[in-house]
């Protein structure tokens, strides 16, 4: 068990399981983008480790870029996504692979979707290490999913709780899972707003 700030977390997903998930996603991306020169677009901060592992395994030429988005969630149903660091290269006509740490409600993905549609990319696919099907509220297809997980709050391997835990090499989940997102992310103004990073 570990403690981050005021909360206790228990081991949930091992390094070996994370590695298997990465290998699976990377193999599929290699297959789908063979002979193309994709732009990998990592979503900061959470996806930095997953992005590096997927990109290291890509066998052809590729480019790497990042965006930074923040989402503020007062409740599970409301979500507003702001761009903290936008695109720094034109993506018109390019093959783009979005790399996310986790897809929860899908608000972040949906806003990325509109950004990429405006860019007139040739094709874009979405890769995420973790996916919470029970929490997902959108219809956008997620092309590569490392691992489906239940609707628990997790930390580690890039994912934080209020800034801490990103360096953990395995994933932990909140010990008392009775807490809802409303408590975790906090009501507006409570200082526990979450960055979609
Ligand atoms: P969305 O609801 O837009 O799909 O996800 C928003 C963001 O909330 C994610 O990119 C991630 O930063 C954060 N998030 C969602 N679920 C979790 C979780 O279980 N743990 C952590 N640490 N962050 C999460
Ligand atoms: Mg976060
Ligand atoms: Mg993210």
Residue-wise pLDDT for 59-110, tens only, equals 999 999 999 988 754 333 447 788 888 898 999 999 999 999 999 999 999 9
Residue 106 domain flag? yes
Determine the average pLDDT of the residues in 116-132: 96
Quote the CA–CA distance of 164 and 90 in Å, as a whole number: 33
Considering the entire predicted model, what is its pTM? Answer: 0.89
Residue 22 domain flag? yes
- Tell whether ligand 1 has an atom less than 6 A from the beta carbon of residue 108: yes
Question: pLDDT averaged over the chain?
Answer: 89
Range of the domain at 81: 14-152
CA of 61 to the centre of ligand 3 (A): 25
Residue 191 domain flag? no
CA of 93 to the centre of ligand 2 (A): 31
pLDDT attached to residue 77: 40
Domain count along the chain: 1
Residue 186 domain flag? no
Residue 118 domain flag? yes
pLDDT attached to residue 116: 94
Catalytic residues: 104
ipTM greater than cut 0.85: yes
Residue 176 domain flag? no
More confidently predicted of 138 and 180: 138
Residue 185 domain flag? no
Task: Please give the backbone phi and psi of residue 153, each rounded to the nearest 5 degrees, phi first.
Answer: -85, 120
Ligand 1 mutation target, pool 100, 137, 159, most atoms within 8 A of CB: 159
Largest CA distance in the chain: 49
Quote the CA–CA distance of 45 and 101 in Å, as a whole number: 9
- Residue of the nearest CA to atom 20 in ligand 1? 154
Residue 100 domain flag? yes
Q: What is the CATH number of the domain that holds 101?
A: 3.40.50.2020
pLDDT at 119 over 90: yes
């Amino acid at each position: 068990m570990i403690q981050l700030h005021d909360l206790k977390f228990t081991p949930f997903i091992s390094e070996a399981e994370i590695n298997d998930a990465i290998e699976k996603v990377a193999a599929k991306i290699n297959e789908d983008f063979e002979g193309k020169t994709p732009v990998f677009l990592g979503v900061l901060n959470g996806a930095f480790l997953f992005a590096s592992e997927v990109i290291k395994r890509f066998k052809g030429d590729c480019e790497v870029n990042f965006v930074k988005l923040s989402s503020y969630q007062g409740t599970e149903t409301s979500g507003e996504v702001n761009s903290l660091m936008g695109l720094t290269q034109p993506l018109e006509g390019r093959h783009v692979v979005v790399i996310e740490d986790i897809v929860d409600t899908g608000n972040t993905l949906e806003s990325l979707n509109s950004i990429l549609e405006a860019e007139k990319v040739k094709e874009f696919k979405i890769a995420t290490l973790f996916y919470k099907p029970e929490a997902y509220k959108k219809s956008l297809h997620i092309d590569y999913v490392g691992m489906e997980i239940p609707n628990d709050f997790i930390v580690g391997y890039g994912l934080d709780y209020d800034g801490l835990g990103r360096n953990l090499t395995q994933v932990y989940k909140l010990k008392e899972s009775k807490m809802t997102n409303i408590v975790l992310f906090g009501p507006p103004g409570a200082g526990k707003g979450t960055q979609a990073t």
